[in-house]
């Protein structure tokens, strides 16, 4: 049986802060979905940059509303909330996929004489050696009507 993972928010923030100034890091023991939570916050006008980590998700979901089932402690479940202008959305899914794959690759254990490779399956999956799904990336956006309602370059929130 897998032991539950307990994330230290302060230690994570110390690693994240130099790379992402102004970000907060939150760790929640259990939540329906980290993406759903960030979208709720965005609709309530809370669109600060945040890394939201869930130790357990009870209603995780993927693309097209598909369920994302994961036991406690057997996967990384997190969402990154970013205020981005729509012009910055182009290629975001691919950029996130490449970044996550490159970040995880050095931590894979060697299998025999070679380390397994992480690949990207368009549009949003990471696969291990092409035969096992390793991760799914779900990008959602929230737009705000307000002082910038006619400014199509105004920031929107991306989770």
pTM: 0.78
| Residue ranges covered by each domain of the chain | 9-158
The per-residue pLDDT for 50 is: 92
Parallel, antiparallel or unpaired: strands 132-136 and 24-28: unpaired
Task: State pLDDT tens for residues 59-76.
Answer: 988 778 888 777 777 678
Contacts 24+ apart (CB under 8 A), 143-148: 144/42, 144/45, 144/47
Task: State pLDDT tens for residues 3-59.
Answer: 666 778 888 889 888 888 888 999 998 999 999 999 999 888 888 899 999 988 999
Fold classification of 9-158 (topology level): BirA Bifunctional Protein; domain 2 (3.30.930)
The answer to whether 81 and 101 have CB atoms below 8 angstroms apart is no
How many Å apart are CA 51 and CA 79, to the nearest integer? 6
8 DSSP β-pair partners: none
Q: Output the six-digit token pair for 132.
A: 């096992």
- Confidence band, pLDDT 50/70/90 cuts, at residue 143: confident
Question: Which is more confident, 65 or 80?
Answer: 80
């Amino acid at each position: 049986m897998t032991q539950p993972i307990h994330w230290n928010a302060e230690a994570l923030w110390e690693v994240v802060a130099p790379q992402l100034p102004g970000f907060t890091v939150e760790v929640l023991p259990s939540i329906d979905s980290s993406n759903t939570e960030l979208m709720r916050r965005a609709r309530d006008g809370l669109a600060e940059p945040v890394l939201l980590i869930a130790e357990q998700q009870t209603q995780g979901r993927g693309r097209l509303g598909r369920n994302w089932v994961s036991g406690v402690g057997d996967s990384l479940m997190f969402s990154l909330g970013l205020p981005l202008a729509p012009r910055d959305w182009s290629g975001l899914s691919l950029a996130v996929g490449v970044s996550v794959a490159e970040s995880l690759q050095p931590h894979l254990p060697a299998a025999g004489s070679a380390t397994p490779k992480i690949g990207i399956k368009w549009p949003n999956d990471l696969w291990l050696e092409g035969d096992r799904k390793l991760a799914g990336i779900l990008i959602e956006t929230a737009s705000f009507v307000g002082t910038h309602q006619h400014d199509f370059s105004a920031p929107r929130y991306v989770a």
